[in-house]
Copies of this chain bind each other. A is one copy, B any other.
Amino acid sequence: MKTVAVTKIGSLRDPDESTRGRVGLVDFPDQPLGPEDVRIRVAYAAICGSDPHLAEGFFGTDVPIGLGHEISGVIEELGERANRNGLQVGDRVAGNFLKFCGTCRPCQAGAQQFCEHIQDYNRPGMAETIVWHESQVYKLPDDVSLLKGCLLEPTSVAVRIADKTRVRVGDRVAVCGGGPIGQLALQVMKMYGATSLTMIEPIADRRDMALRHGAEHVIDPVAENQFERTDEITGGAGFDVVIDASGSTRAVKGLLDIAAKGGMVVYGAMYPHDFEMPLNLSDYLYLKELTLTGVFVSPYAFPRALQVLPHLDVDELTEAVFPLDRAEKAFEVHVSGAYPKVVIRCNEIPEETVTS
């Protein structure tokens, strides 16, 4: 079965081709179908900002490493006991690449994000088919196309970020970082109480995209003084909620200064393993009583992500689509930044045959 995989460890951005990492098509054996499993013919698999990290060996260096966890598709086969969710062959679906065991201590305590067996069903989805446990599979609403549906997983991340903000309606909200997660978080916060909604992002195209999708203000943190701009936007109050979706070590510290007293700062991205942000306890936790938190994975968020997705405008995130056998090119385009997001079409599945 054709699967996109890292075939050589190294940075995909490395200008030296001899050390550059490499992504290509590999033939993987078909995944077996257990009694509670679901085989999905994959329609689309989006490239995630974390995929190049895998090429760099972040989670291991034994190649080939199969890729793809933002997928949509159509159910092709159901295990004999995969009957607890009402799934049917032919259903248009998306889902969660992580499976929660339900048995370990964190699962029993309502903290599935720390499930001790979370990787058991994490299979590569940039492939012709994928087999998941039925608990990972969600039927798409009729008004969500397969192309849009492959963004269910990043939408669940934005929903989980929103959950952690504890936002109240009318709170002032800023999002730092205009990549795909930042754009989705912006749209989700737009529909979750945000006012004075502001995107902080140095790249003009991304700021413009934010303005097209609900940002009331944008700040260019390079060309502008973001503290003065925050004062203007918030009348001196600061932002009640600040979300970092940049993962930028240059950006993270300054967010503490634009947060309002008593505010919430959600560090919602991935950060370099060895990076330490200097945190002045007196200024930020004592005098300002800020609350800081982060997001690892997105438990309990998928059912609401399904409700949210139809309300999001993700056309700009699904413009660049490449067929499976051009996956290498797709990753080149992803790395180039020419598009905010790049999608791989794993099978030709006509939208019209499945939505009717």
Interface residues of A (CB under 8 A from B): 36, 84-85, 100-111, 113-114, 116-117, 133-135, 138, 159, 162-163, 168-172, 188, 190-193, 195-196, 237, 252, 261-262, 267, 269-296, 299-300, 302-308, 310-311
Q: Given A101-B84, A292-B293, answer yes or no on A114-B261 (Cβ-Cβ < 8 Å).
A: yes
Minimum distance in angstroms from A234 CB to a CB of chain B: 10
Minimum distance in angstroms from A151 CB to a CB of chain B: 15
Minimum distance in angstroms from A99 CB to a CB of chain B: 9
Give Cα distance in the complex from A107 to B306, angstroms: 15
A-B contact pairs, 12 of them (CB 8 A): A110-B110, A113-B262, A170-B306, A192-B192, A195-B304, A271-B281, A274-B280, A278-B278, A278-B279, A279-B292, A285-B292, A290-B294
Residues in B neighbouring A272, C-beta threshold 8 A: 282
Residues in B neighbouring A102, C-beta threshold 8 A: 100-102, 107, 135
Give Cα distance in the complex from A163 to B167, angstroms: 10
B281 touches A275 (CB 8 A): yes
A135 touches B114 (CB 8 A): no
- Additional pairs, 8, CB under 8 Å, beyond known A110-B300, A171-B307: A103-B134, A105-B303, A110-B299, A111-B262, A114-B289, A163-B168, A170-B303, A170-B306
Residues in B neighbouring A195, C-beta threshold 8 A: 304, 307-308, 310-311
Q: Given A100-B102, A193-B191, A292-B292, answer yes or no on A84-B116 (Cβ-Cβ < 8 Å).
A: yes
Give Cα distance in the complex from A270 to B77, angstroms: 43
Minimum distance in angstroms from A215 CB to a CB of chain B: 14
Minimum distance in angstroms from A149 CB to a CB of chain B: 16
